[in-house]
């Protein structure tokens, strides 16, 4: 029985906040910590199986019978305890694979117009992400006090906003610098 990977805790964490399906977990990860973490279905469903086998989650009645294949998972006491101890140990170093930054770095070795286009695209993407994150922050602020998880989720969203704002500002400056 090998140790659970961070991916497993990303899934378990959401289930511990609120019982939900694998499909839901994916949506939630995308729209909450999506900037910092993501999981594909091909990872989530096997992970869910593993969590079940280890007794960290359990199936609960799915509410409505609209989607018969839908399976709703909840965290067990053992699951919450596993999560608690994993969260307490120091996080592994972040390793990102930012292809945009890589291509920018080697930008002198291709067409300048191509790099300018990459910057524009990067800007557009981050402007969209920024709007979404700001909406998330506003929503979480209004939900303060309703759930213990909100303050932490808010902090994370605010980090996302701050990083996106910085990226957007940098893109706008870079656009000027790279202007032909």
Partner DNA sequence: GGGTGCATGTAATGGGTTACATGATTCT
Partner DNA sequence: AGAATCATGTAACCCATTACATGCACCC
Footprint of DNA (CB under 7 A): 2, 5-7, 21-24, 27, 38-43, 45-49, 66-72, 95
121 binds, among DNA, a copy of itself, none (CB under 5 to 8 A by kind): a copy of itself
Q: How far apart are CA 17 and CA 68, in angstroms?
A: 23
Contacts of 87 (CB under 8 A, 6+ apart): 9
75 phi and psi, to 5 degrees? -80, 140
Of residues 159, 126, 173, the one with CA closest to residue 33 = 159
- Check residue 169 for interaction with a copy of itself (CB under 8 A): yes
What residues numbered 62-121 form the site for a copy of itself, per CB under 8 A?
Answer: 80, 83-85, 87-111, 114-115, 117-118, 121
Angle of CA points 56, 93, 129, to nearest 5°: 85
Query: 178, 122 in Cβ contact below 8 A?
Result: no
- Check residue 149 for interaction with a copy of itself (CB under 8 A): yes
Closest approach of Cβ 102 to DNA, in Å? Answer: 12
Which residues bind to a copy of itself, rule: CB under 8 A? 6, 9-10, 13, 16-17, 32-33, 35-38, 80, 83-85, 87-111, 114-115, 117-118, 121-122, 147-153, 155-156, 158-159, 162-163, 165-167, 169-170, 174, 177-178
């Amino acid at each position: 029985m090998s140790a659970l990977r961070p991916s497993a805790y990303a899934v378990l964490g959401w289930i511990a906040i609120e019982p939900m399906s694998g499909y839901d977990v994916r949506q939630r990860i995308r729209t909450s910590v999506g900037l910092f973490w993501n999981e594909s279905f091909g990872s989530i469903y096997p992970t869910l199986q593993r969590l079940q086998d280890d007794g960290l989650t359990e199936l609960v009645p799915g509410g409505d019978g609209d989607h018969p294949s839908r399976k709703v998972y909840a965290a067990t006491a053992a699951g919450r305890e596993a999560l608690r101890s994993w969260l307490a140990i120091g996080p592994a170093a972040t390793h990102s694979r930012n292809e945009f930054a890589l291509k920018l770095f080697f930008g002198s070795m291709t067409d300048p117009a191509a790099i300018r286009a990459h910057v524009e695209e990067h800007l557009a993407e981050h402007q969209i992400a920024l709007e979404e994150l700001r909406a998330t922050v506003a929503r979480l602020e209004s939900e303060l006090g309703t759930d213990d998880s909100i303050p932490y989720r808010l902090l994370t969203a605010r980090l996302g906003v701050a990083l996106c704002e910085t990226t957007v500002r940098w893109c706008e400056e870079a656009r000027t610098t790279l202007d032909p």
